[in-house]
Structure 1
Amino acid sequence: MSFKALIVEKDEAGTTSASVRTITGDRLPDGDVTVAVEYSTLNYKDGLCLGSGGGLVKSYPHVPGIDFAGTVEQSDDPRYAPGDKVVLTGWRVGEVWWGGYAQKARVKADWLVPLPEGLSTRDAMAVGTAGFTAMLAVMALEDHGLAPDRGPVLVTGAAGGVGSVATAILSHLGYEVAAVTGRPEQEGYLKGLGATRIVPRAELAETVKRPLESENWAGCVDAVGGAMLARVLGQMKYGGSVAAVGLAGGAGLPATVIPFLLRGVNLLGIDSVMRPYEDRVRAWSRIATDLPLDRLAEMIRPATLGELPELGAAILKGEVRGRVVVDVNA
């Protein structure tokens, strides 16, 4: 069994390089299920793994790709049989375990989720880890009382992968969505996803001395972190929640505890990597019903394995809009 894979290698000087190679199945890691991969995606972590590794990749040669969708080819686990359609996100696949940037993958059965009815494997990877994370964020906000009649919901980093899907989902569910972006040229794109208001990034990027400002937002999906997250916390309505999903603006949080103490604001951490199976099934079921496929199509930029090294560098610079869907067989 031979197949194509995007292999990242590191030389003695510590320099990495990535290229598409033909390899044999005996190089795949041990696992319960072998999947014929059909589609993968590009995420910020993938950009790191395609380049320096960002401390995520532990050994080389390596196959990145933190998510994939495809068809079971062989299974030693009774939960899956040849022909089953499956999705994988997280579990450090594509980081410490060979991932989805190949025509074949071998993984543990516990890491897989059945593909929900109504979604194709291409749809699933248009969603990918970014969209899965976005849905987890929306679910967490709802679980903490968010409803459309509570007021507008802010989405930071809205033109990115998580932000794009969060904007589309929230709009479809009837929320008024305010989309934050530092790229004015993306206004039409974001309004097409359902945003009703565009907030320039500069309006929220500066830290202010006041711990509380006017109560503007009933909820927030934050992919930026840093000073912007601190600023947003001070603008939340009483009892509002922020779902923190990323750190594009930095890992620090120059905030005070005042929003938590005086307004009962909730800061909800969203992890998609080690999420339990039941949560994964619930989130994918919601994606199949609450993410309009026509808006999903607006986010997609198709790509091949050979284009990924260049796209990986671009996503680290914030130059990738929406979702990159990788056809590993193209």
Structure 2
Amino acid sequence: MQMQKKINSWLITQVDKGTQTDYLELDSGEFLSNEIIIEVKNSALNYKDALAITGMAPIIRKFPLIPGIDFSGVVIQSNNKKFGEGDRVFATGLGLGELQHGGLSSHASTDADILIKLPNKYTHSYIMGLGTAGLTAMLAVLALHENSIKPDAGKVLVTGSSGAVGGIATKLLLKLGYEVVAMTSRPEYNRDYLKSFGNIEVLDTDDFLGNPRMLSKERWASAIDVVGGKVLENIITETNRSGVISVCGQVLGLNIVTNLAPFILRGVRLIGIDSAFCSHERRSRAWDMIFDLLDVKDVNYLSEIIDIKDVYERSKLIVNGKNRRRIITNNSN
């Protein structure tokens, strides 16, 4: 297929000590230089993307760069035998939107080793309704299971449960039979939404922002935390003996202040979740589990589709904690 000369993309450039984000018409020859070119049907707007787009954190490692750590689309040119014209593919993480041009564009270009063929029964919007958020959530749940936290172990606390990663993690845990407690920063707004997931308790993030004790009463068999900061500090002191905390976010910051007592007196374990660069084998296992657990109806309920041109305004809502659900972008012209 003959490649068009222009593409429509978001582009982040460096300006003085800050960044500037614009939706532009770009020269395809300059930005689509890898072995495979994909016409992007859908992408997604992750928390990391929102930080990059608004300039709130130094996510981008080189400039100028097309943001977007996820995309799904159709191969229109390929110089690799692994993929041919017309193949439906998707990609998450692995440097997209950070080290190389990403998916918030009408077209993307990458090497074959980061692409996965999209099963025929799934749409591009379905896989982007999961994307990095879904993969992260599944890896976080897997970490509990692999460390002997079974559904009968007790309550599992999920922070940021009205957002993308937290919401998907909550749904996955419920599907697997766990007893879930959902934490949200706006319970008056999110309670009914979260209760619609199933029989779960809803807690207010504000109740976890005080200074923690050295050890508190045991409350949680395990937790999945996307928030960090004071919230994580308090969860550590409240986790049961031999409990596991999957850590996969830093909404309240990268730094925590804690003590050794929960770790050496209770055997609490913190496990970091790296969805961006995890191995192909682990990535494949996680996707197989997600496909088994979450159907199209689940993903549609957990997500919302917006036009790609609305990405900047929605990013501002995401970084300010005012967005609910997973955001899918419609990238078709």
What interval of TM-score do these two structures reach, taking the shorter chain for normalisation?
over 0.9
Structure 1: which 5+ residue stretches go unaligned? none
Q: Is the Cα contact below 8 Å between 1:192 and 1:295 reproduced in 2?
A: no
**Would you say the 8 A contact 2:10–2:21 is kept in 1?**
no
Question: Which residue of structure 1 lines up, in the alignment, with residue 21 of structure 2?
Answer: 17
1:124 equivalenced with 2:119 (yes/no): no
**Equivalent-residue separation in structure 1 for 2:275 and 2:86 (angstroms):** 26
- Indicate which of 281, 296, 299 corresponds to 2:299: 296
In structure 2, distance between residues paired with 1:165 and 1:181: 14
**In the alignment, is residue 102 of structure 1 matched against residue 70 of structure 2?**
no
Indicate whether 1:245 and 2:248 are aligned.
yes
Over 3 Å counting, the alpha-carbon distance change for 1:119 and 1:193 in structure 2 is: farther
Alignment match of 1:280 (pick from 279, 283, 289): 283
Equivalent residue, structure 2, for 1:6? 10
The Cα of 1:96 is off from its aligned counterpart by: 2.4
CA drift of 1:10 comes to 4.1
> Which range moves more in the overlay, 219-228 or 81-90?
81-90
Range that drifts further, 39-48 or 80-89: 80-89
The reply on whether 1:61 has 2:56 as its aligned counterpart is no
Aligned partner letter, 1:187: R
TM-score (norm 2): 0.93
Is 1:71 the counterpart of 2:74? The answer is yes
Tell me the alpha carbon deviations over residues 41-91 of structure 1, each in whole angstroms, 9 at most, x when there is no partner.
111111122122722224443211111111222222222222222221112
Q: CA deviation at 1:118?
A: 4.0
Q: What CA deviation, in whole Å up to 9, does each residue of 1:277-296 have, x standing for no partner?
A: 11111111111111243232
- For 1:231, the equivalent position in structure 2 comes to 234
- Post-superposition shift, 1:202? 2.0
Q: Cα distance, 1:268 vs. partner?
A: 0.4
Pick the aligned partner of 2:270 from 239, 246, 267. 267
Tell me what 2:163 maps to: 160
The worse-fitting range, judged by mean Cα deviation, of 78-87 and 176-185 is 78-87
SS of residue paired to 1:101: coil
Structure 2 unmatched runs, 5+: none
Q: 1:44 aligns with which of 30, 44, 47?
A: 47
Q: Aligned pairs, how many?
A: 328
Checking the alignment, whether the CA contact within 8 Å between 1:72 and 1:85 is kept in structure 2 is: yes
Q: Give the conservation status (yes or no) of the 8 Å contact 1:69–1:87.
A: yes
Q: 1:250 & 1:54 partners in 2: Cα distance?
A: 11
Cα distance in 1 for partners of 2:127, 2:29 equals 28
3-state SS of 1:180 partner: strand
Contact 1:172-1:194 within 8 A present in 2 as well: no
Q: How far apart, CA to CA, are the structure 2 residues paired with 1:118 and 1:260?
A: 45
Deviation at 1:182, TM superposition (A): 1.3
Q: CA deviation at 1:219?
A: 1.4
Q: Counterpart amino acid of 1:109?
A: A
Q: Which moved more, 1:127-136 or 1:26-35?
A: 26-35
AA aligned opposite 2:288? S
Equivalent position SS for 1:278: helix
Deviation, 1:29, is 4.3
- In the alignment, what sits opposite 1:175? 178
Counterparts of 1:25 and 1:142 in 2: how far apart (Å)?
45
**Whole-Å separation in 2 of the counterparts to 1:289 and 1:43:** 23
| Sequence identity percentage | 34
Shift of the alpha carbon at 1:18? 1.4
Question: Quick one: distance in 1 between partners of 2:19 and 2:84?
Answer: 41
Structure 2: how far apart are the matches of 1:98 and 1:86? Answer: 16
Deviates more, 1:318-327 or 1:79-88: 79-88
| Aligned residue type for 2:65 | H
